[in-house]
Amino acid sequence: MEEHQKLPKVTIFPSLGIGHIIPLIEFSKFLVSHFNFSVSLFLPPTLHQPDQAHLSSLHNLPNSISYSFLPPLNPTQTHLPENQTLSSIISHTHIHSLSSIRAVLGSLTQHSRVVALITDIFGSDLFDLAREFTIPPYLFFTSNVMCLLFAYHLPKLDKIVSCEYRDMPDPLALPGCVPIYGVDFPEASQNRKNEAYKILLHHTERYKLAEGIFVNSFINLESDALRVFQNEISDWPRVYPIGPIIQSGFGSDEYKWECLSWLDQQPIGSVLFVSFGSGGTLSYEQTIELAIGLEKSGQSFLWVVRDPNNSVSGSFFGQCNDDESFIYLPEGYLDRIKGRGFLVPSWTPQIKILSHKSIGGFVSHCGWNSILESIVYGVPIIAWPLYAEQKMNAVLLNEGLKVALRVKANENGVVEVDEITRIVKDLIEGEEGNKAREKIKVLSELAKKAMGEDGDAMKTLSQVTKIWSASI
């Protein structure tokens, strides 16, 4: 038997979506490289062939991490409602994979000592299944401590608030956090009659059934909010800050990205990186406003452009379109921005870009993975939230941490040319941008320290892994 097959085993079940899968892959690497565990990683059924983001993150995994995809679902058996939301698709995928997961756990426990089952925010229905096999279940919370506090309070809010949260006159004062208005609550909570809200409420009510909760944040980033869990909350599992866990590389792909060569030719800190993550899309109208706003700003920019889509999460499950014609952009646009703007269709090696010396700012959808990457590499942010909990993240960045400027949309939800021009100039060369830059540089050093050999994340995980080792 190979040595890694004798190691105590952790089994991990991420949800659909790169934003869930990548941090759990990186967490797996951390467990095997520092704590001598083996990991069985079971990826959710895919709606399409695995894309570049999937494949790059799975390249060159250590021998002690095995991975496989769960069997595909039969669409005729899942009974998904029409016009289903992201959260309903993700949650139903877990539910309809339970029989496959039960079979997987049955086989694993016959041949290995499984010390923990870890799933993320949509996988709380796996907790009961883990207990059936006497495996302690853990939640990996893929966002921040502020959002975790919101999840803790949501079942209580549901009982005491009668109106829609967006109609609440006063902000919610979560302990240890900046106040947040209902309009900035997670997208799934904006319509309490919608299935997405019922799913959110279902999972947040079940988080208390976990053995422990890992949160991808670090003490010096959200110290006040973490103290609330440590000192004031006794009816939930222990919360373990184990971040910032970010993508450690871009697989073994040796593809020579032209955009990186272009960045090499730009002055230090001069380029604005514009990307809305793996799932974000803009409408045609908004795409045009952004294009013209970037052009009028006079700043250099690297823009990851996707085909316009009326859904802000239109590319979450979609295939990437690598068409470089950009025919939906204004006539003559490519010629006018030549040399100052660089457009890339659909996908770029984000880690390599954010760590590049020429990058001076980041227009981000405020997905938590992207935020952590920006913090680690000390890049100030223009917060442009689209869906999920991204508006709440934007509040944390702008009002709490003060490392971001936040765009303001008009009454129709469109960020107009003049606003884009103003905020881009301000971030790259203005006073507010300089303040955000200085603050995020400090957080960058603290983030790197947290993930070091003697950092807080290592110390925290040591506590948990000692518990797992003692159970063998």
The pLDDT tens digits of the residues spanning 333-378 come to 999 999 999 999 988 899 999 999 999 999 999 999 999 999 999 9
Q: For 267-295, what is the mean pLDDT?
A: 96
Mean pLDDT of all residues belonging to the chain: 91
State residue 256's pLDDT score.
66
Catalytic residue among 120, 307, 426, 456: 120
Q: Is the pTM of this model over 0.75?
A: yes
Q: Has 120 been annotated as catalytic?
A: yes
Q: Which helix (H) or strand (E) holds 154?
A: helix 145-160
Average pLDDT over residues 312-330: 74
Question: What would the mean pLDDT of 219-231 be, rounded to a whole number?
Answer: 97
Is 335 assigned a catalytic role? no
- Helix/strand/coil for 267: coil
Are 73 and 45 contacting, i.e. CB atoms less than 8 angstroms apart? yes
Q: Which residues contact 408 (CB under 8 A, 6 or more apart)?
A: 415, 419
Single-letter amino acid, residue 24:
L
Does the pLDDT of residue 176 top 90, yes or no?
yes
Domains, the chain, with CATH or none? 3-245+453-470 (3.40.50.2000), 258-448 (3.40.50.2000)
Tokens of 105: 């756990």
Residue 26's pLDDT is what?
94
Of the chain, the end-to-end C-alpha distance in Å amounts to 19
Average of per-residue pLDDT across 76-90: 68
